[in-house]
Amino acid sequence: METKKKDIRALTKEQLRNFFVERGDKAFRGNQVYEWLWQKSAHTFDAMTNVSKETRQMLEEHFVINHIRVDQMQRSSDGTIKNAVRLHDGLVVESVLIPTETRTTACVSSQVGCSLDCRFCATARMKRMRNLNPDEIYDQVVAIDNESRLYFDRPLSNIVFMGMGEPLMNYNNVLKAIDMITSPEGLGMSPKRITVSTSGVPKMIKKMADEEVKFGLAVSLHSAIDEVRTSIMPFNATFSLADLREALEYWYGKTKSRITYEYVVWEGINDTQEAAEALVKFCRFAPSKVNLIEYNPIDDGEFQQASSAAVDMYQRTLEKNGITVTVRRSRGKDIDAACGQLANKA
């Protein structure tokens, strides 16, 4: 019976070095192969031109490189690019390149589907199939960096984990991917240019704080009133606002890193002065910034963007209380690439 080949990128550098030593070769051969796999993003062993043909054949016999493939690329009228990314087992996730005049941002996925149940999000309506491996997350970033250089003539500048899935429900793989993205042996990006967005998993926020991560944290909040938040994000019944706030206080105490809150204002749900005041109260315990995000419909019309007067009221209330606020307009809506719209429609 044929033995299943192992994905070579599941090995650490040390394991690769040992693999070669055990076969009577030099340890540095592992360094060479590791560089090809990560820094040079080789998709085949034959691409490793400074490695002998015999060694390449030997690697082929033992391992596979489970690289992603961009199956379909769509371009929005505003320049946004959405990739349908096919994984080695045939499943598909989506990632997005968002260009501005000064930078390009990759919005990457961490799960096929999502572990959580936010009622306003298209991805949450999909069944969670599996977590992405570190290399599959890394490859999304490489693909978008290549597109950034090709279409915008500059390297990728920022990464947000705001694609499909809840990153903190795939904690270990997300952190391994970020380690490689920021490593000089990987893409060498600064962790300060990376933001992990969570719907709020208190235990994992505390774990991140204990590990003294250097990337930014964003929280999809959408309401600071428990009953309202539970009605739109049912998991809030398990991870309450009190628990979330305690975890965020712990995060700030450990990292001294400002917290970003993502917040959509919906008509008839959270478009009141009371809701805005509750948000102010929730934000007060640590330096924070609120992004008021334009809502992107997901077909059935249950959730509707609030009036511009309601958004203005939020902005005034936050600013009056000394809280930094930005009103973010959606990008890529015409290709279902905007926030909350990723669901493999293509």
- Residue for token digits 């505003």? 78
- Please state, in angstroms and rounded to a whole number, the distance separating the CA atoms of residues 86 and 83: 9
Binding residues for [4Fe-4S] cluster: 114, 118, 121
Structure token digits, residue 263? 């917040």
**Active-site pick, 61, 94, 227, 267:** 94
> Which among 140, 111, 139, 106 has a CA at the least distance from the CA of 332?
106
- Please state, in angstroms and rounded to a whole number, the distance separating the CA atoms of residues 251 and 324: 19
- Please state, in angstroms and rounded to a whole number, the distance separating the CA atoms of residues 311 and 320: 14
**Active-site pick, 107, 136, 147, 339:** 339
Specify whether 277 is catalytic. Answer: no
Specify whether 339 is catalytic. Answer: yes
Alpha helices, H only, 6-119: 13-22, 28-37, 53-62
Binding residues for S-adenosyl-L-methionine: 165-166, 197, 220-222, 296
* Backbone φ/ψ region at 215: left (φ over 0), alpha (ψ -120 to 50), beta: beta
Tell me the CA distances in angstroms from 123 to 85, 100, 111, 186, one per residue in order: 15, 25, 10, 29
Around Cβ 184, how many Cβ atoms within 10 Å? 7
Supply the DSSP string of 170-220, one letter for each residue. GHHHHHHHHHHHHSTTTT---GGGEEEEES--HHHHHHHHHTT--SEEEEE
Strands (E), the chain: 6-7, 63-64, 69-75, 81-86, 92-99, 104-107, 111-112, 130-131, 158-161, 194-198, 216-220, 259-264, 288-293, 324-328
> Which among 135, 215, 149 has a CA at the least distance from the CA of 182?
215
Active-site annotation, residues: 94, 339
